[in-house]
Structure 1
Amino acid sequence: MEFTTVWFIIIAVLWVGFFVLEGFDLGVGMLHGVLSRDEASRRAVLHTIGPVWDGNEVWLVTAGAAMFAAFPGWYATLFSGFYLALVLLLAGLIVRGIAIEYRDRVDGARWRRTWTVLLTAGSLIVPLVLGIALGDLLHGVPVGRDQEYAGTFADLFTGYGVFTGITMTALCLLHGATFLALKTSGEIRERAHRLARRAVLPVGLVVLAFVFWTRSLADQGILLNLLELAAVLAVAAAAWAISSGHDGWAFGATTLAMAATVGSLFTELYPRVMVSSTSSAFDLTVDNTASGPYALKVMTVVALVLLPVVLIYQGWTYHVFRKRISADHFPAPGQASPGPLTARPES
């Protein structure tokens, strides 16, 4: 297997890892104001992601860095053409991070309400913008012979790109609901479970439409590949697990649905990395945008050494903070409150 193919797979895995791990964080951010009826409940909901959300975001940074190092031509065209969209993405990420850290720093209802709105908005913007960007890679945007983006900001809002953004957002919402059902207890868990049960059918229909649209766009016929079939079956499995009250299986199923959906997009994209709507002759591919063979070889060795370390560390983090969290662990407003990263899980 050529190193260009290896690095395309690595980058696809990094994007899958980001959406799987950060996906439930974003879902929790979108849902924390809906599933919580009081301040103690909101604190409990946010503390489910407190120890892990910033570590999960590292997957996005790593994916961008890998694109820059392995496929500089792809990185240059994508980041220059999608510049305004990336600014919006960064704004969403910044606002979301600040909201998580600062909403409990001042004891005031208006202060907390403001950060709650900003956290919800930031958590919605991130998967929507990233989904549009990933969808545009396969749909195609104006790219010229010189590999320069030749369109405008409005050209990024293709029908397929927008629907991909909606699909990613819907999956994040369902993923966050199953995560909260798994990580909380009491009334919060019951509300998360009810929301997941109501959302799973609409989300399933969205995923089904997405995989068939992706298949049609790639001109591959109506038969689904293994990842696309896995995405559809995983949502069906999530529906069964949610209705049966198996929280762990439900979260595992939404994890698989997210991974298969993102992975299927990259599967249909290869060996291209960015489709040109101007002419197929101007498509960016793994060959015409890649770094030199020696650089890719060295990077492969580094990745093989460091990636297992990262996976082990993150796995240990989730093991340490595996206990369920309840609103009973958090004081009412006006009393001392633990910081966002210091909640004590239920023993």
Structure 2
Amino acid sequence: MNTILGLDLPTCWFLVIGGLITGYGVLDGFDLGAGALHLFFNKEESRRTALNAIGPVWDGNEVWLVIAGGALFAGFPLVYGVVLSTFYIPFMLFLVALIFRAISIEFRSKEPWRWWRKMWDIAYMASSTFITLLLGLILGNLIQGLPINAQHEFTGDLFTFFNPYAILIAVTTLSLFMMHGAIYLTMKTENRLYAKLTVLVSNCSKFFILCFILTSMATLIYIPHMTHEFKRYPVLFLLPLAAVLAVLNLKRNIDARKYFTAFIFSSFTTAILLILFAIGLFPNIIISSTNPAWSISIYQAAATNTSLRIMLLMAAIGTPLVLSYTVFVFWTFRGKVKLNEMSY
């Protein structure tokens, strides 16, 4: 059987990988955003509180990225090879930033010296911001298309990645994650830090809405292939409408200081924007800006049906386990952060 619920196996794997990337964006998005905001907190206690708000969950959130990478390798090995070779330098920088971010979180509290903690605070903020911008830059280039030749080889250079549209997507990603992280921190803090975060949430939401509008306009004007599937299936226009309504409800809940509901809407906004990205690409995964005929579709890149069936079974077993663990951790560490001698 080469179909599941009426969908062929490559499409099923496209959905699986999309779901895993969406899970990573929603979950790691808020702790990357919290890290990008870290230096906005001036007091030592505030910084420790913000750090301990994401302390129990940040490493588990990154598991979704590892699983997504493994799923891409298993389901679409050609795409895995092309993407990693094309973005070799960005991915190496991404890994270095991930390492520094982890070290910053774990090393900060090891010594009481002021200069020591300040050094790791800066490293934590810089690495979180850098990771977010890199993710947005990679996403922007995938949306716009890459200079790929008929042999699926990248023909550009490092400066190819730094085009205006990709930079806009990078900034939009940063604004989204900062807002997402600020909302999460409001749910985990109280007193003066909470009061400061209410201002930060409001400012970050305004920044994101501006970026959202600019990105939407730029995509409609300069990236016409992202609208092909929507023109082909008009019912899909419900998704952009849902995105707009989500952003409006997000702002409404922020203004009303209903931060749990706002967090739900910011998570939904992150998810639906990634869904729109996936629909715009489908059935391609990598679009060639040199010649659309050289683009790589899910059918060209897919592994054998036997491999897809076996790996899909493993994904069906493994993904719910990771999801259950994630829910368990969030439930266990629910509520406001309380600092003690075991805290970061």
Same fold by TM-score greater than 0.5: yes
Q: Distance in 2 between matches of 1:339 and 1:243?
A: 32
The answer to whether the 8 Å contact 2:187/2:335 transfers is no
Which moves more between the two structures, 200-209 or 19-28? 200-209
1:276 maps to 2:305: no
Give the partner amino acid of 2:75. Answer: A
Q: Which residue of 2 aligns with 1:146?
A: 151
Secondary structure at 2:55 match in 1: coil
Q: Which residue of 2 aligns with 1:344?
A: none
Q: Distance in 2 between matches of 1:274 and 1:12?
A: 14
Work out which of the residue numbers 160, 173, 186 in structure 2 matches 1:155: 160
Q: Which residue of 2 aligns with 1:334?
A: none
Q: Distance in 2 between matches of 1:170 and 1:229?
A: 21
Q: Displacement of 1:37 after TM fit? A: 2.8
Q: Which residue of 2 aligns with 1:317?
A: 329
Alpha-carbon distance change, 88 to 225 in structure 1, aligned in 2, over 3 angstroms: farther
Please give the per-residue CA displacement for 1:140-166, whole angstroms capped at 9, x wherever unaligned: 111111111121111112222221111
Q: Which residue of 2 aligns with 1:345?
A: none
Q: Percent identity?
A: 34
Give the partner amino acid of 2:21. Answer: W
More helix by share: 2
Work out which of the residue numbers 14, 22, 26 in structure 2 matches 1:20: 26
Which moves more between the two structures, 99-108 or 215-224? 215-224
Please show how residues 94-133 of structure 1 align to structure 2 within 5 Å: 94-133=99-138
Please show how residues 144-223 of structure 1 align to structure 2 within 5 Å: 144-216=149-221, 217-219=223-225, 220=227
Give the partner amino acid of 2:113. Answer: G
1:89 maps to 2:94: yes
Q: Which residue of 2 aligns with 1:69?
A: 74
Q: Distance in 2 between matches of 1:215 and 1:265?
A: 13
The answer to whether the 8 Å contact 1:143/1:278 transfers is yes
Please show how residues 31-70 of structure 1 align to structure 2 within 5 Å: 31-34=37-40, 36-70=41-75
Q: Displacement of 1:255 after TM fit? A: 0.9
Which moves more between the two structures, 229-238 or 103-112? 229-238
Secondary structure at 1:273 match in 2: strand
Alpha-carbon distance change, 177 to 243 in structure 1, aligned in 2, over 3 angstroms: same
1:246 maps to 2:248: no
Q: Displacement of 1:339 after TM fit? A: 4.2
The answer to whether the 8 Å contact 2:101/2:123 transfers is yes
Work out which of the residue numbers 220, 224, 230 in structure 1 matches 2:242: 230
Q: Distance in 2 between matches of 1:101 and 1:316?
A: 22
Secondary structure at 1:151 match in 2: coil
Secondary structure at 1:232 match in 2: helix
Q: Which residue of 1 aligns with 2:342?
A: 338
4+ residue stretches of structure 1 with deviation over 6 A? 221-224
Q: Displacement of 1:208 after TM fit? A: 2.5
Q: Provide the alpha-carbon RMSD of the alignment.
A: 1.6
Please give the per-residue CA displacement for 1:196-238, whole angstroms capped at 9, x wherever unaligned: 1122122112112223433441442898833333232222111
Give the partner amino acid of 1:227. Answer: L
Please give the per-residue CA displacement for 1:64-112, whole angstroms capped at 9, x wherever unaligned: 1111111111111110011001111111111111100000101100000
Secondary structure at 2:148 match in 1: coil
Q: Displacement of 1:321 after TM fit? A: 0.4
